Amino acid sequence: MTTTKYQAIANEMRNRIRNEYYPTDQPIPDELTLAEEFSCSRMTMKKALEVLVMEGLLHRKRGHGTFILKSALQKQLVHVLEKETIGLTETAKGKKVTSHIVEFSVEFPNEVVANYLAIESTDPVYKIIRVRYVEGEPYVIEKTYMPVQRIPGINEEVLHGSVYQHIKGKLGLTIATTHKMIRADKPNELDQKYLNCKKDDPVLEVEQIVFLGSGQPFEYSFARHRYDKFVFTTLNIKK
């Protein structure tokens, strides 16, 4: 398959990001400067950068420029690209999904959360801890952070239903790609209490960052699954 000009540029920019060619505390060069460097039109350069925004490597900050997301430099983070990012409600379609809210608050993020969500430490976030049940059986405990300004209107009614349906239906936003890191762990006190795990039962933890169609990260979360309730598969996409 022939590589187009914008794909070749995106590949080079991706390599530069991975190799830390650009500093993370400053915006990368603007589109015009990069277009001159790569001898292409500004539209071609814009299209190449949009690919990297959608992949969660870059984030556009209005009035400030385009920055590298620090999560892009976490080499152990596995990028799982699916046709559509869906939540538990859609995954378990046809079955009754309910939620128990363990904690719901609004707070200022720590440095890690702020970096992953590409926000300032003064931007408030929802902190959500809830247990998800399928047909009355506990399946997963979710600990989630979301920027309040980016995802308005989250309340207990939404949390007892589907947050993703609120985002797509009520807010009219598109949910795009997800970065996941999957690991095995021993059960903690919450796992034992809410997932009915024994002390020696393995737990599967999924740490993820989820992006809107605009390329903005809107969710940084940890989902801890019972080992006997989930099977994860990956989708291989040929380029």
**Domains parsed from the chain with CATH numbers:** 5-70 (1.10.10.10), 88-226 (3.40.1410.10)
Q: Which residues contact 108 (CB under 8 A, 6 or more apart)?
A: 121, 122, 123, 124, 125
| Burial of 72 from C-beta contacts in 10 A (0-12 / 13-18 / 19+) | buried
Provide, for the chain, the percentages of residues in helix, strand and coil under a 3-state DSSP scheme, each rounded to the nearest 5: 30, 30, 40
| pLDDT reported for residue 83 | 41
What is the Cα gyration radius of the chain? Answer: 19
Query: For every one of its 239 residues, what pLDDT tens digit does the chain have, with 9 covering 90 and above?
Result: 466 888 899 889 988 988 889 988 889 999 999 999 999 999 999 989 988 887 778 888 777 889 887 765 554 433 344 444 545 655 555 678 899 999 999 999 998 898 888 888 999 999 999 999 988 889 899 999 999 999 999 999 999 989 999 999 999 999 887 888 888 999 999 999 999 999 999 999 999 888 888 778 899 999 999 888 766 555 444 43
The 3-class secondary structure across 91-156, one letter per residue, is HCCCCCEEEEEEEEEEECCCHHHHHHHCCCCCCCEEEEEEEEEECCEEEEEEEEEEECCCCCCCCH
